Amino acid sequence: VQLQASGGGLVQAGGSLRLSCTASGRYVMAWFRQAPGKERAFVARISSSGGTTNYADSVKGRFTISRDNAKNTVYLQMNSLKPEDTAVYYCAGDRYWQPRYWQPHEYDYWGQGTQVTVSS
């Protein structure tokens, strides 16, 4: 299973970015992020059909996870970005809808990470 993340970059506070993650199949997909010196943290999750999503409280109302199953691609639209959103963003996948979805070890497949930097 291969996951390929892209779309990171440098943006000013209040700006937007869209991350993409292309998978080699259809899985439950999630985004995590890891800031320097911090643990990897859950951002958002989407079911394999796209019908159900979960978000971390810190991004609710600003980030939207979606998917295009024809392209095996999951997106993370990030709006109203803040400096504290600066991190390496990772996409993750799993075959199952896990109950403890906020825990990184619940996902078997990981992309390589893409850097998002938000300047103040």
Tell me: the pLDDT tens digits for 89-108?
999 999 999 999 999 999 99
| Residue entry with tokens 């078997």 | 108
CA distance 63 to 87: 15
pLDDT of residue 13: 98
pLDDT tens digits for range 38-65: 999 999 999 999 999 999 999 999 999 9
Amino acid at 67: R
Q: What is the mean pLDDT of residues 26-47?
A: 97
Kindly tell me if the per-residue pLDDT of 77 is higher than 90.
Answer: yes
Q: Tell me which long-range contacts 50-57 makes (C-beta under 8 A, separation of at least 24).
A: 52/97, 54/101, 54/102, 56/102
In the predicted model, is pLDDT for residue 6 greater than 90? Answer: yes
Rounded to an integer, what is the distance from CA 107 to the centroid of its chain? 13
- On the question of pLDDT at 1 being above 90, the answer is no
- Buried b / exposed e over 89-118, threshold 16 CB at 10 Å, is bbbbbbeeebeebeeeebbebbbebbebeb
Mean of the pLDDT values across residues 9-31? 97
Q: What is the pLDDT of residue 96?
A: 95
Question: How far is residue 39's CA from residue 48's CA, in Å, rounded to a whole number?
Answer: 26
Task: Name the residue with tokens 């080699």.
Answer: 24
Please state, in angstroms and as integers, the Cα–Cα distance from residue 18 to each residue in 71, 97, 107, 114, following that order: 16, 24, 22, 11
